Amino acid sequence: MISNDEAKLIINAIDALHKEWGDTAKSFTDALIRRYYITDCYDVRLDLSDMVLSLEFYQTGKEDPAFSHDFDIDNISADGVVEMIQKTVTEQLANLVAYHAQREEDTAKVAERVRQSRYALYQELKAEFGDQ
């Protein structure tokens, strides 16, 4: 069973992680990623029969959470639970940051190809019609 002090420790850690998640999501320049991953709430549920702690970060009014995970906390100390949650959220954030970086790189490559294509078209038109 989890004591009141242990519950406070876990909730404080989740609160800090939720803030870090939000700060990271707000730093993204890709509007689609920002819109999906910016959250304003989190939900923590504890199933005492299975000793499973469920955690979700979500935006009010959206059906799908930006982050959702179930943690088996049976026979694990409060510090162990906090460590497990921190590791999982941090890994998910790292994946999200990498995904955002890859998307930005891909977008930049496409923009460069478009720029080059437009310039080539400009050069063709200039050669055909001259400077007018």
Give the model confidence (pLDDT) of 76-122 as tens digits. Answer: 999 999 999 999 999 999 999 999 999 999 999 999 999 999 999 99
Is the pLDDT reported for residue 1 higher than 90?
no
| 3 state SS of 69 | strand
| Sign of torsion over alpha carbons 91, 96, 99, 101 | negative
Residue 43's identity, in one-letter code, is D
What residues contact residue 14 under an 8 Å CB cut-off, 6+ apart?
A: 42, 44, 55, 85
pLDDT at res. 3:
86
Axis-axis angle for helices 4-26, 78-129 (nearest 10): 10
**Sheet with strand 41-47: strands edge to edge:** 41-47, 52-58, 67-72
| 3 state SS of 52 | strand
pLDDT at res. 20:
94
Please name the residue ranges forming H helices in 1-132.
4-26, 31-37, 78-129
Identify whether the C-beta of residue 14 lies closer than 8 Å to the C-beta of residue 44. yes
